[in-house]
Structure 1
Amino acid sequence: MQPDPQATERRRFVLLTGAGFTRNWGGWIASEFFETLLSYDLNAFTKSVLWKERNFESVLSKLRGPLRTEMDSVFSAVFGRMNSALAGRRFEFSEEDRRSIVLFLTRFDAIFTLNQDLLLEYHCERLGSKTIEMRRISQRLRSPGVHQVGCAPDYPIPAATVEHVPSDDPSDYSIGEDVIPYIKLHGSSNWKESDGGNLLIMGNNKAQEIGLHPLLATYWSAFEDCLSKPETRLMVIGYGFRDPHVNTAIAKAAESGSLKMFIIDPSGVDILGPRRDPQTLKVNNPDPVLAPLKGALIGASRRSLGEIFGGDDVELEKVMQFFK
């Protein structure tokens, strides 16, 4: 999976999103996901582990057999509820082009996400049906290597209402010209494996599980390759820096001097600092892996996307400086 070769001759702009990105449209972050799971009729053992860990991904790593199957089914139901709600939300926060989220997204050379919801899939379809210009923009977003059964792989970002599978042909993973790759590093809630299982990575062993799936392994290599390119600027929106494999990849690029980073998060730069353990409630020392990231930072915003693109001219100007 090779990015546009011409993009390496100039400054590259890369976006990485986490759950906090979708939170701007009402999506659940990890703590809310945990609380939502409590509303389901779970096995007593599963619920006890859930309360003990207070982290649904840690729970997944401890469940086996029927208990894991039960939890996977519950996750599918939770994603279904959230995706339905996201589909009904207004995507843009303003009618002005200079405040357009869609136009903002098209300024990036590549978009990587750790999310498995269908926010962009729903709204790219909807926006693409409004005007010729929006159709042109939405068709630039593509998820290479995954397609609806019976359809060619080379078509715009997968439709949200149908299931998709990875292509058996690695050549389908390549990215064409004038395309903005939308790379779902941990799979998606509407992707299926050939055996019918869900193609999404959750739990505490993500790095190992990614290596078991050719498509996701290719995606991961593309992520590391993008970060390593000279003159790369990475904007991180709504990622809590809790995945070791992601942190290590970003830190490696930061140490090499090739990467500059801007963070949009309610915690601002403090997201890289000490953490409160959800079990003990004690404040832990910062992850030493994150230390190189401080030298790569070129700014941060603590405002929501609704504030930034909904009328806050001061903050919008600060965010758009990222592209200068």
Structure 2
Amino acid sequence: MLRFKKTKDNNMNFQSGKHILLTGAGFTKNFGAPLAIEMWATIFNHKKIQTQPGIKELMMDNFDYESIYTSIIEGSYTEDEKKAIRDAVMFAYDNIDSILRKYACDFQVSVKLNKITEFITRFNENRIKGYYLPDNGNKSFIFTLNQDLFFERLYCDSLLSIPGIENDLEWFTSDFRKQLGDPDYCRLPNEGALNRIKSDILQNGKFFLIKLHGSCNWRSYDGTENIVIGKGKKEQIQK
């Protein structure tokens, strides 16, 4: 259970529910999504990476694709190399998203999605057996290490939201099925904007999704194509 109390710089004063869900890479593996080492392989084998010997050499010494991405984007690499890693990483995430969209579009699949969503709903202490309960002041949380759009696409609950950003009205509904386009990428607030809202960031809502490693559809506040994932997220967001 998490407890937050007011401080001089923080107006948050609430208590979490008894149970908090944390999901990692294995959570979507049963849906066909790759684990981290499989993501590395997809990125390494991308045609644009294969034309960049410097990136290939770096990747052969490091199997953490998130740190590789940050090293190249933040390092003294050429614009062609930076574009290559961006395109390869986006290709890998687009592949995951196409897998999840099959579930959203009711394709024949092996995993019983309704059983998974019923399990997730148990962590929303404002809702029991499909009924919303009176507000008891508690906040419910899901934390995920994954950057995919599993929850946004496949978990339907009007109470769930991602704090600190503008949530698309189609997220967490059965309507979010289309392939991602430019309007579907979320621009994050810069440091000044975040400071203005952080004291009230959890006030409006009862059930929150916290994406600890960022998300494949997040972009820096200046609209650049850099994906906010993995290492150095705070620094990426502030740029």
What TM-score does the superposition give when structure 2 sets the normalisation length? 0.65
Secondary structure of the structure 2 residue equivalent to 1:189: strand
Distance in structure 2 (CA, Å) of the matches to 1:6 and 1:35: 42
Q: 1:50 Cα shift? A: 1.3
8 Å Cα contact 1:87-1:119 kept in structure 2: no
Distance in structure 2 (CA, Å) of the matches to 1:157 and 1:4: 26
8 Å Cα contact 2:153-2:171 kept in structure 1: no
8 Å Cα contact 1:143-1:157 kept in structure 2: no
8 Å Cα contact 2:187-2:223 kept in structure 1: no
In the alignment, what sits opposite 1:107? Answer: 122
- Residues 46-92 of structure 1: CA distance to partner in whole angstroms, max 9, x if unpaired? 11221232332343354333223421222112111210121103689
In the alignment, what sits opposite 2:97? Answer: 83
Distance in structure 2 (CA, Å) of the matches to 1:175 and 1:211: 26
Cα separation, partners in 2 of 1:45 and 1:27, compared to 1, 3 Å: same
Higher helix share: 1
In the alignment, what sits opposite 1:176? Answer: 204
- Residues 10-48 of structure 1: CA distance to partner in whole angstroms, max 9, x if unpaired? x62111111111112111111101111232121112112
8 Å Cα contact 1:175-1:181 kept in structure 2: no
Q: Which runs of 5+ in 2 are unaligned?
A: 5-11, 124-139
Identify the match of residue 187 of structure 2 among 165, 179, 189: 165
- Residues 151-181 of structure 1: CA distance to partner in whole angstroms, max 9, x if unpaired? 79xx96495741222353515622435x210
Distance in structure 1 (CA, Å) of the matches to 2:63 and 2:227: 24
RMSD: 3.3
Distance in structure 2 (CA, Å) of the matches to 1:118 and 1:28: 14
The reply to whether residue 44 of structure 1 matches residue 58 of structure 2 is no
Task: Name the amino acid aligned to 1:121.
Answer: E
The reply to whether residue 143 of structure 1 matches residue 165 of structure 2 is no
Task: Name the amino acid aligned to 2:159.
Answer: R
Distance in structure 1 (CA, Å) of the matches to 2:197 and 2:160: 19
Distance in structure 2 (CA, Å) of the matches to 1:4 and 1:77: 42
In the alignment, what sits opposite 2:219? Answer: 192
